[in-house]
Amino acid sequence: MHPMLNIAVRAARAAGTIIVRGFENRSDIATESKGANDFVTQIDKEAEKAIINKIQQSYPDHSFLGEESGETAGSDTEYQWIIDPLDGTTNFVKGIPHFAVSIALLHKGRIEQGVVFDPIRGELFTASRGQGAQLNGYRIRTSKPKDLQETILATGLPFKNKARFGEYALSLNKIFQECGDIRRAGSAALDLAYVAAGRHDGYWERGVKPWDTAAGELLVRESGGLVTDFKGNNDPLYKGEIVAGSAKVIQGVLKHLK
Ligand code: IPD
Ligand code: CA
Ligand code: CA
């Protein structure tokens, strides 16, 4: 395993321990609102600190972009770690055991390492650029469905910006008519990891941030899939929108999003 991926895995596991402990004692956890339907708990913050501490022990000069602590420029700005310490906070708060830690490392703006860790199921999704993607050490691959009819797609609802629901519902209706079925599970990082593992055939969402998708984007690419914005460009990281899957699935979904 690449040494930087190894550190990312250790950091994700450290955060996972904090998250599972917090999940078991949920009633004691303080929750604050960051905006409409957007929550943060003390566990999100503790987990992010643990991740950054772990990485800084090995790479004290690197830079960070964390959902909870924002951007921190180190003396080395070529390396930036993008962190979502707890993706799926609403599930966490509600007691729904579906959330993950997401950590990506960018070098000169390119995603080099990615980890998505589901601490409840003990599922560790990892990828290094050019080296393929793994689930608990075993190679994973995206599915290659013959047509949209046989697909299960994942999506996210625009719950932080409900004014967008009308537009979303129009495309959802068109995509739903053509695919097999749709899931809204509440963790963008796991939605992408599941596409990488061939569990979901595709995924789309608008309103995502780089920390939701950076690690998952690499997982999908390294497992043989494609990741684009809603126009079909291959650089969705800062666009706030993402589509993932095989070329055929992306084509089928994009025609209803453009
Ligand atoms: C959210 C989850 C959710 C997605 C939102 C994200 P958070 O992340 O990934 O599935 O629909 O767009 O913001 O707030 O739980 O880290
Ligand atoms: Ca998130
Ligand atoms: Ca989060």
Q: Determine the pLDDT at residue 40.
A: 84
Please indicate if the annotation marks 86 as binding a ligand: yes
Is this structure's pTM higher than 0.85? yes
CATH fourth-level superfamily of 3-139: Fructose-1,6-Bisphosphatase, subunit A, domain 1 (3.30.540.10)
Q: What is the DSSP annotation of 120-145? A: TTTEEEEEETTS-EEETTEE------
Question: What are the helix and strand counts (H, E) for the chain?
Answer: 7, 15
pLDDT in tens, the chain (258 residues): 999 999 999 999 999 999 999 999 988 888 888 887 787 889 999 999 999 999 999 999 999 999 999 999 999 999 999 999 999 999 999 999 999 999 999 999 999 999 999 999 999 999 999 999 999 999 999 999 999 999 999 999 999 899 999 999 999 999 999 999 999 999 999 999 999 999 999 999 999 999 999 999 999 999 999 999 999 999 999 999 999 999 999 999 999 997
Atom of ligand 1 nearest to the CA of 90: 15
* Minimum CA distance residue for ligand 1 atom 11: 156
Q: Is 251 helix (H, G, I), strand (E, B) or coil?
A: helix
Q: Determine the pLDDT at residue 31.
A: 84
Residue 77's identity, in one-letter code, is T
Task: State how far the Cα of 139 lies from the Cα of 130, in Å rounded to an integer.
Answer: 13
Class for domain 148-257, per CATH?
alpha beta
Give yes or no for a contact between 215 and 116, defined as CB atoms under 8 angstroms apart. Answer: yes
The number of C-alpha atoms within 13 Å of 89 and in the hemisphere containing its C-beta is: 22
Ligand 2 centroid – CA 146 distance (Å): 31
Task: State how far the Cα of 193 lies from the Cα of 215, in Å rounded to an integer.
Answer: 9
Domain ranges within the chain, ordered by starting residue: 3-139, 148-257
Task: State how far the Cα of 39 lies from the Cα of 88, in Å rounded to an integer.
Answer: 10
* Minimum CA distance residue for ligand 1 atom 16: 87
Domains 3-139 and 148-257 share a fold: no
Q: Which residues line ligand 1 (CB under 6 A)?
A: 84, 87-90, 156, 186-188, 205, 207-208, 212
